[in-house]
A and B are shown apart, each in its own frame.
Chain A
């Protein structure tokens, strides 16, 4: 069976972003970009399913600017067989991305789509669920364990208060949580091989999807700064401060 893995190019998780002085957005010019960490876990899971022999082909897909090709090459270096870039310079929000992904699913007919649970830039946590809704497929979000069978998939999910297990009829949509797996490092030979793997480019207009944003960002500001704290000398001083100054215990 085919698995589709959507991946997003985001500001690297180690970068501390700064808000632009005109408060229009965060400043992402010249900062390091990488694959969204949850998406790496999604690619890794798809490749492991292929290595187990239950999946025949892994297709990585990304939506966005030309530079997203790098992210797709990374996915292919991890082990995806081929890639599709839905290329646009437009600002893409989760609803638009899920519509573009639905168009790709309609074309490729995978049995399973594995996405990251959220992207670390917009922190929306929507695209997987929206894609499942548009396709009318069942969903299992925040997956920490995936067991794939011929016509169903059993998924353990991380929920508030513990874990829960669901069984979904295929085709289905899964979103990954951090503990699903540890993504492998890409090796140089695999990076070289990934350069030869096919990467197809399509445009939103070709699949007839309107990507215009539905949310308008009016302002982006710095979070309120915390006032500088004090270093206390010992436990006695700490307890005194908490009792008499902060009055929290």
Chain B
């Protein structure tokens, strides 16, 4: 039994989500191989080879794989899928995009967003916005799985010495083209990987007020998140959104300012180690999950908190 992990990378370095996914693969048990599909991605493949527990790295390097088009990446995964019992993707936007395409072509069900490995064919996953946890058994011969990265501690990035093997590249589908990319500017830690996250909700009141979170975030070395209400109101860019339909985070410390705590938001953050809520409304549902609550006006709390740190 061997497991194929599909690496997430930017051609030069591995995304930490890959390390979480390798950790999930290690829990299943078996040889772990990593597929790096990209363009000029030798550096990413070399880092994958150093990850502890990785037995082999497959490198598919071609311009058609440069931008992660689902049609091409899925074809590439299928080209090497033959020998593997499990194919694991991180449940990131690219993993979620490609994995079901692979599963359907293999005629197997996919297990989405697993949070625990019970055995080689049985996994736990959240349903209904995290309000229930389902234990599911896959009846298919091959298991295609996406891994909730925050549920698995990242595998050590050093310690392995796997061989990098070039594999032949699948044909370009020609059915889709990459046009462009707009990267949200963010000098802070990545939201899903940060150990502290400071989040603002509709209670922030405006995009200008949202900037008041920045000095605090800088002081804590934290990433900034937002509730859907804040994103929809235009206070924050949408890739800051934490929740069922945004990012799932599980930092050491999650500080929510002016967030009411709708179930869709809680689905994205309730596995944080310590949750702090600051809200004027003592009845806000966020206080139901918060370890420490402060019923106060966030605009007086923010400067006080900043100077107290």
Residues of A within 8 A of B (CB): 11, 13, 16-17, 19, 26, 93-95, 98, 117-118, 120-134, 137-142, 144, 154, 157-169, 172, 177-179, 213-223, 226-227, 229-232, 234-236, 238-239, 241-242, 246, 248-249
**Is B228 a contact partner of A178 (Cβ separation < 8 A)?**
yes
A16 to B208, CA, bound (A): 34
Interface of A is mostly: mixed
Interface status of B168 (Cβ within 8 A of chain A):
no
Q: Is B293's CB under 8 angstroms from A248's CB? A: no
Contact of B291 among A164, A169, A229 (CB under 8 A): A229
Chain B residues with CB under 8 Å of chain A are 67, 69-71, 74, 92-94, 96-105, 107-113, 122, 126-140, 173-184, 186, 192, 196, 220, 228, 231-232, 237-239, 244-245, 247, 252-253, 263-264, 270, 273-276, 282, 287, 289-296, 301, 304-305, 308-309
What is the CA–CA distance of A246 and B272 in the complex, to the nearest angstrom?
12
| Option from B100, B182, B276 in Cβ contact (under 8 Å) with A164 | B182
For this complex, 26 residue pairs linking A to B, each with C-beta atoms less than 8 Å apart, are: A120-B128, A121-B128, A133-B103, A133-B104, A134-B104, A142-B93, A162-B183, A162-B184, A163-B182, A169-B176, A179-B238, A214-B139, A215-B136, A217-B134, A219-B134, A221-B135, A223-B130, A226-B291, A227-B291, A230-B292, A232-B294, A235-B301, A236-B308, A238-B294, A239-B308, A246-B291
B143 to chain A, nearest CB (A): 10
Of B67, B231, B253, B274, most buried by chain A (CB within 10 Å of CB) is B274
Q: Are A138 and B132 in contact (CB under 8 A)?
A: no
Partner of B295 from A137, A142, A231, A235 at Cβ < 8 Å: A231
Smallest distance from the beta carbon of A193 to chain B beta carbons, Å? 30
Majority-rule SS of B interface residues = mixed
**How long is the Cα–Cα vector from A198 to B71 in the complex, in angstroms?**
35
Chain B nearest CB, measured from A233 CB (Å): 8
Which residues from B are CB-within-8-Å of A124?
Answer: 110, 112
Number of A-B contacts (CB under 8 A): 252
Q: Which residue of A lies closest to B97 (CB)?
A: A141
List the 5 shortest-distance A-B pairs measured between CB atoms, nearest first. A129-B100, A214-B109, A130-B104, A133-B104, A126-B100
Bound CA span A167–B212, Å: 38
Q: Taking each of A93, A169, A214, A232, which has the highest tally of chain B beta carbons within 10 Å of its own beta carbon?
A: A214
Complex CA gap A44/B117 in Å reads 39
- Kindly state the separation between the CA atoms of A165 and B292 in the bound complex, as whole angstroms: 42
User: How distant is A21 from chain B, measured CB to nearest CB, in Å?
Assistant: 13
* Most chain A beta carbons < 10 A, residue from B111, B130, B132, B291: B132
**Residue numbers in A under 8 Å from B290 (CB-CB):** 229
B104 and A95 form a contact (CB under 8 A): yes
Q: How far is the CA of A168 from the CA of B270 in the complex (A)?
A: 37
